[in-house]
């Protein structure tokens, strides 16, 4: 479970915890070098490596959405203003930013949101897990939702299936065989008492005949 810190205003230039300014989409965000560096090897290299940004007090980030970046910061800082996902929004941006800056806790949070997302089909979740090979829990979640052969057939007939990697298809088919074998084994065990009853009846009939 996550412990939450007090809410942080990343737009406040007077917060003493901030020691570097990031400029995103022309607007300033104030953060702690140390906190970002601990979570991200990308920021660690940027702030403490042999890069020109090392000695800058103001660093511009390109190809990043400002609001999405702030949501990512709330995950990193584990504040009580955790990521708020709108109904029309998706945690995809967390995956993108987590991958871009190599931040494990952000990828993990995105995975949690994807698992809980009731609007995404199992096939769509499986596709996302396939495209992001670090989402092991999401993949296992998808497989756990497939409990009958019919469930697998639905995925196989969906347009998503043909786009899955060969590695994912192999894992998918392996799980399908396991479920199928389990189902067959269950039916065999279910019929055993019936045979026992028939054997008992035969034994009774034999006794009656002997009498």
CB < 8 Å & 24+ apart, contacts of 152-160? 152/176, 152/179, 154/123, 155/122, 155/123, 155/126, 158/121, 158/123, 160/123, 160/124, 160/126, 160/127
Looking at the DSSP bridge assignments, the partners of residue 30 are 21
Q: Which pTM value belongs to this model?
A: 0.75
Tokens coding 121: 């089909």
Q: Which residues pair with 31 in a beta bridge?
A: 20
Residue 78, φ and ψ in degrees, nearest 5: 50, 50
Check if the beta carbon of residue 166 is closer than 8 Å to that of residue 144.
no
pLDDT score at 8: 86
Tell me what pLDDT residue 27 has.
Answer: 97
pLDDT tens digits, one per residue of 14-32: 999 999 999 999 999 999 9
Quick: pLDDT tens for 97-130.
Answer: 999 999 999 999 999 999 999 889 999 999 999 9
CATH number of 1-84: 3.30.710.10
- Residue 188's pLDDT is what? 55
Report the pLDDT value the prediction gives residue 20, as an integer from 0 to 100: 95
Residue with tokens 């034999």: 206
Tell me the C-alpha to C-alpha distance, in Å, between residue 150 and each of 156, 169, 180, 208.
10, 16, 10, 47
Residue 31 phi/psi, 5° resolution? -140, 175
């Amino acid at each position: 479970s996550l412990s939450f810190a007090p809410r942080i205003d990343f737009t406040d230039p007077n917060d003493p915890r901030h020691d570097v300014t990031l400029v995103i989409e022309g607007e300033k965000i104030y953060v702690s070098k140390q906190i970002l560096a601990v979570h991200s090897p990308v920021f660690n290299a940027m702030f403490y490596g042999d890069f020109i940004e090392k000695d800058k007090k103001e660093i511009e980030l390109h190809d990043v959405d400002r609001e999405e970046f702030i949501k990512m910061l709330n995950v990193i800082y584990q504040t009580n203003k955790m990521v708020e996902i709108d109904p029309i929004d998706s945690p995809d941006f967390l995956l993108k930013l987590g991958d871009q800056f190599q931040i494990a806790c952000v990828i993990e949070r995105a995975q949690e949101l994807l698992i809980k997302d009731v609007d995404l089909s199992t096939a769509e979740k499986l596709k996302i897990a396939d495209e992001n090979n670090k989402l092991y829990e999401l993949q296992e979640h998808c497989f756990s939702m497939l409990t009958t052969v019919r469930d697998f057939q639905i995925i196989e007939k969906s347009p998503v299936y043909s786009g899955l990697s060969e590695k994912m298809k192999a894992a998918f088919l392996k799980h399908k065989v396991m479920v199928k074998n389990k189902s067959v084994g269950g039916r065999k065990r279910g019929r055993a008492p019936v045979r026992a009853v028939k054997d008992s009846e035969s034994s009774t009939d034999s006794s009656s005949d002997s009498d």
